[in-house]
């Protein structure tokens, strides 16, 4: 289990025009596979524009490749976000296609090159 601070934003899949929820890291490191359906985001309590403390973990691979579960632990206020940035470091995204270990993976610099195309 790993912790991160994320902001939930709505995004559009370029290929289909479908709306998705994209997790944008404020503190800690998250995988580049960070989009979820709006329905799943709603069920998980990820309201767009809010900032959350989340735990995430990698699940078993399947026909779609590596899979991750994000669980909302708490909606955060400004002072909590500042404290967690100091504790967890700046928000980073690791490319799941370049490494099996997020600690050693280089961050994704261009979010538009996400494997999900969002």
Q: How many domains does the chain have?
A: 1
Specify if 24 maps to a domain.
Answer: yes
pTM for this one? 0.77
Residue 100 in any domain: the answer is yes
In terms of residue numbers, what domain contains 104?
Answer: 2-113
**Is 23 inside a domain boundary?**
yes
Residue 29 located in a structural domain: yes
Looking up tokens 């912790």, which residue turns up?
Answer: 3
pLDDT tens for each residue of 97-117: 886 654 444 444 444 444 444
- For residue 90, being part of any structural domain is answered with yes
User: C-alpha angle 36/28/112, rounded to 5°?
Assistant: 45
Of the candidates 68, 64, 96, 98, the one whose C-alpha atom is nearest the C-alpha of residue 6 is 68
Q: What's the pLDDT tens digit per position in 49-61? A: 999 999 999 999 9
The predicted pLDDT at position 101 comes to 53
Asked whether residue 55 is domain-assigned, the answer is yes
């Amino acid at each position: 289990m790993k912790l991160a601070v994320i902001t939930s934003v709505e995004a559009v899949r370029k290929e289909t025009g479908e709306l998705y929820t994209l997790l944008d890291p404020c503190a800690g490191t998250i995988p580049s596979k960070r989009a979820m359906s709006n329905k799943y985001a709603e069920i998980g309590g990820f309201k767009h524009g809010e900032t959350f403390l989340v735990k995430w973990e990698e699940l078993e691979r399947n026909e779609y490749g590596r899979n991750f579960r994000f669980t909302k632990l708490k909606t955060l206020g400004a002072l909590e976000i500042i404290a967690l940035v100091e504790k967890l470091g700046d928000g980073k995204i690791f490319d799941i296609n370049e490494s099996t270990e997020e600690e050693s993976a280089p961050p994704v610099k261009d979010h538009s090159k996400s494997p999900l195309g969002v």
